[in-house]
Amino acid sequence: MASTMLSIASATPSASLSMHEKLKGKVKLGSTTNSTAGFIKTKSFGRVSMVAAVNVSRFEGVTMAPPDPILGVSEAFKADTDEKKLNLGVGAYRTEELQPYVLDVVKKAENLMLERGENKEYLPIEGLAAFNKVTAELLFGADNSVLKEQRVATVQGLSGTGSLRLAAALIERYFPGAKVLISSPTWGNHKNIFNDARVPWSEYRYYDPKTVGLDFEGMIADIKAAPGGSFILLHGCAHNPTGIDPTPEQWEKIADVIQEKNHIPFFDVAYQGFASGSLDNDASSVRLFATRGMELLVAQSYSKNLGLYAERIGAMNVVCSSSDLAARCCEVAVIQVKSQLKRLARPMYSNPPVHGARIVANVVGNPALFDEWKAEMEMMAGRIKNVRQKLFDSLSAKDKSGKDWSFILRQIGMFSFTGLNKAQSDNMTNKWHVYMTKDGRISLAGLSLAKCEYLADAIIDSYHNVS
């Protein structure tokens, strides 16, 4: 380890050398040196100096990373002592009392696990077989031909992030040079994932700030202009951060263009059942592409719809070709793809955790628990819809400028894209103690009906009085 010498000399002040010079290593003390126990005794012209060794870490060159733009919001919120503060940054469901919520059906599934006395042995690399079966059925529909024809390779992943990262590694290794197109804007971690996997990416237009809606023409034009065979990352439902989803007719057009350009659709499904309250409705975009016989990638997460944030439970699904002539080749391809996903997962995390996988398998695989889960999802989605309506009503009543706030009602899911810029978002935090991401996104899941009018005051002030 590198070290610097500090001299504690017995010489006269005029003979002493500055600490700065010694720290910079510009001074050589004496002609002979003996070192013991971290100190150096140096002889020089009959004078004795004691020199203390100050170790400098070899990690000194590792720079400070910037705070995470989403998780950093919660850290700032916790440090704020104001009673009116609101945390609308992280996408985690809260009750009307703004408390974390553990689903009743999750508690029942965990009780079943305790009663059975299930062990904590390692899972296979691909994860829990019962989980992989039910998660694919939940996504595509149990009667979907892609499952009956065994055209889907499914492996358990570390929630949505880990599943996306696994797919990125697959793209980097087996589609060298292929580009991923992501929406502008998108979830903050998408770029990190592809950068870390060394997968090139670019953006397609999605959000129109003039209408606070979807720039559909721009989106289609950019997908058409992308190099053939690109991966097009799509949000299956409840687009994050905007809450703006294509209509069913627009999804059809998106599928047309992707097929024409021989692109590969890559879905991120983080909110199935949590956006509209219906598992089937929220999976309709994915099922549309699968029904067309397209090859596609789909990452799933159970953080939101089952509230399993800390369990890190999700899946990566790869759908292979449906051509009759390629049927036998497809079966081989599914096996090969799954083997390579396992090969990529092994050095990353070896094998996935079992607890969350068993919860999902118990809930989705048990008809009674499954029905209870759907009812709880409808309740959670319903609370967010009520908050969205109340916020719109409060903004419309309080803002006398005539501004149209109806875009809030056209958005879906736990987020709303307010249209506020960075300076206005900073005002929300600095003046009103409302914590949110700097792109103007707020999480309605962290808002209560009782706080809607306060939030409306903050938004109106920030929008009209901060340029």
Q: Which residue is catalytic, options 215, 222, 245, 268?
A: 268
Q: Which of 187, 373, 405, 432 is catalytic?
A: 187
Indicate if 268 belongs to the active site: yes
**Residue 325: exposed, middle, or buried by beta-carbon count in 10 A (0-12, 13-18, 19+)?**
exposed
User: What's the one-letter identity of residue 152?
Assistant: V
- How many residues belong to the chain? 467
What would the two tokens of residue 417 be?
């894209």
Kind of pairing between the strands at 231-235 and 264-269: parallel
Known catalytic residue at 201? no
> d(Cα 239, Cα 255) in Å, to the nearest integer?
17
Cα(196)–Cα(190) distance, rounded to whole angstroms? 10
Instruction: Give the CA distances from residue 174 to residues 199, 334, 345, 431, in Å, rounded to whole numbers and listed in that order.
Output: 11, 14, 15, 50
Could you tell me the CA-to-CA distances from 390 to 49, 118, 385, 394, 411 in Å, in that order?
A: 75, 45, 9, 6, 14
Task: Give 440's DSSP letter.
Answer: S
C-alpha–C-alpha distance, residues 364 and 371, integer Å: 9
Q: Is 373 a catalytic residue?
A: no
Bridge partner list, 296: 319
Closest CA to 171 of 271, 316, 309: 316
> At residue 284, what is the residue type?
S
**Rounded Cα distance, 175 and 170, in Å:** 8
In angstroms, rounded to a whole number, what is the distance separating the alpha carbons of residues 282 and 269? 9
Strands 434-435 and 86-87: what pairing? parallel
Place of tokens 């057009």: 253
Instruction: Give the span between the Cα atoms of 29 and 368, in whole angstroms.
Output: 82
180 by Cβ neighbours in 10 Å (0-12 / 13-18 / 19+) ranks as buried
Which backbone phi and psi does 412 adopt, to 5 degrees?
-140, 155
Catalytic position from the list 201, 245, 282, 304: 304
Residues taking part in catalysis:
187, 268, 304
